[in-house]
Amino acid sequence: MLFVNSAIAKKKILCRKHKIADDFLSRALGLMFSSRKDFDYALIFDLGRTTLVGAGIHMFFVFYSINVLFLDNSRRVVDIKKNLKPFRMYSPKKPARYIIELPVELPLSGIVVGKRLDWR
């Protein structure tokens, strides 16, 4: 479950399902060659360190648009890219440690730079 931390004890659920790309193959493939109808979860990449160059992503062989969140070491949003189109590339404006790819239909209302996210 991916959720937004709030100053209040109540947490807002952003996405009920998530997968972590935690091995070489899952990080290398990401969403390439996947079907849009099967993408109903948050895909989380842990880069292992905060980086600007290493946090760039590409949409080669991803045939649908997605939303992407870039987070720092403390899981605070440092950049947001909405509606990233197929066969495009994007690099965050600030260094990131985590990349979260989300379905484009998922509402990102309330998600702004500086907001803290968490997952379990």
Say which CATH architecture domain 2-119 belongs to: Sandwich (2.60)
Per-residue tens of pLDDT for the chain, all 120 residues: 787 865 544 678 889 999 999 888 998 999 999 999 999 999 999 999 999 999 999 999 999 999 999 999 999 999 999 999 999 999 999 999 999 999 999 989 889 999 999 998
Domain map of the chain by residue range?
Answer: 2-119
CA 69/CA 96 separation, integer angstroms: 9
CA 48/CA 32 separation, integer angstroms: 21
- Strand segments, DSSP code E, in 1-120 are 2-4, 12-15, 18-21, 42-51, 57-58, 66-71, 77-84, 89-90, 96-103, 117-119
CA 112/CA 99 separation, integer angstroms: 15
pLDDT at 120: 84
Report yes or no: 98 and 45 within 8 Å, Cβ to Cβ: yes
